[in-house]
Amino acid sequence: MLAAARRAGVELHPDAVQFLALTSGDPPLDTQSPEQNRQGMLAALPLTGTGADLPSVTDTVVPGPGGDVPVRLYRPSTDPGLPAVLYAHGGGWVQGDLELSDSTCRDLAAASGAVVVSVDYRRAPEHPFPAAFDDCLAVAQHLLAGGHGVDGSRVALSGDSAGGNLAAALALNLRGHRPAPVHQVLVYPVVTLAVGESASYERFAEGFFLTRRNMAYFADQYAAGADRGDPRLSPGACTDVTGVPPATVILAEADPLHDEGVAYAERLARAGVEVELRVWPGQVHPFVALGAAMGDAHDARSYAGARLEAAFALPPRS
């Protein structure tokens, strides 16, 4: 991986070097079944850490278009009327589950003072687009209506990677909803399914954990035969991004998704959306999830939590 880093002109963080050494032998995802790929990700769960100890963590469901949607509620206190953060996990819409994002959600709840609601949305290829989006939309609407005792006027959207894609798509779709989401935290989001069409895809195509080949696999599994220009699938394809909630965009420098994340943040800013973009130098996808392996994960989680806490303290947007 050091040779790849030299070719890409990037100096990797020491934690990233160690992580890449652990995962360098992983087979390409398109050579295995979805279930084999999911089992492979389970082996990485110890790297996510344990997260904050909270007074209440409960599993429940929210009614959805395809049946009940499992969710996990992380409460930083038992007080009623807390703000809420919908969290969509990563994993390319194929892998990932509530356990993958458990430590991240615990730390976000502790840092933001909000109830974090992690969504166990349906996964591809068994449930292709728009299943994951529809499940997350049902949960978002439930929270905006004050479901599970949260303050529906203070709801934010968040997710990492494929989950960042879902959060960005929800933010676009919920424009005009009353009450509206107050913030979106997009962690190295997939904003377009036009895989490979950026300079960072060229620089970091292989050797940095998330590969261009694996991203193409994820896109094929989730999009199936859908129009990849649908903004629910590719938020970056939306022709008008005005009116979405303020955004926090968190990126890793050595990530194929880096450039599309920067471009989306810049596009939101040009549309008059308040945006704060932060890039972690020398880091790789998916550093924020790796609480036991990456010191920067805790920095990023604290930063996201502080941004959410500040957003919840603001008066409602008109």
Q: What is the mean pLDDT of each run of 10 residues along the chain (318 residues)?
A: 71 96 91 95 92 98 97 96 98 97 98 98 98 98 98 98 98 96 98 92 96 97 96 97 98 98 98 98 98 97 98 81
Q: Is 61 left (phi over 0), alpha (psi -120 to 50) or beta?
A: beta
The pLDDT assigned to 7 comes to 63
Give this prediction's pTM: 0.97
The pLDDT assigned to 25 comes to 84
Strand order in the sheet with 67-75: 56-64, 67-75, 115-119, 84-88, 155-160, 183-187, 247-254, 275-284
* Residue 313 burial by Cβ neighbours in a 10 Å radius (0-12, 13-18, 19+): exposed
Instruction: Say how many residues make up the chain.
Output: 318
Rg from Cα positions in the chain = 18
Whole-number Å distance between alpha carbons of 90 and 109: 18
Alpha-carbon dihedral sign for residues 156, 232, 218, 135: positive
Residue 33 tokens, joined: 């079944």
Residue pair 225/279 in contact (Cβ under 8 Å)? The answer is no
Residues belonging to the active site: 161, 255, 285
DSSP label at 65? B
Q: Which positions ≥6 away from 9 have C-beta within 8 Å?
A: 203
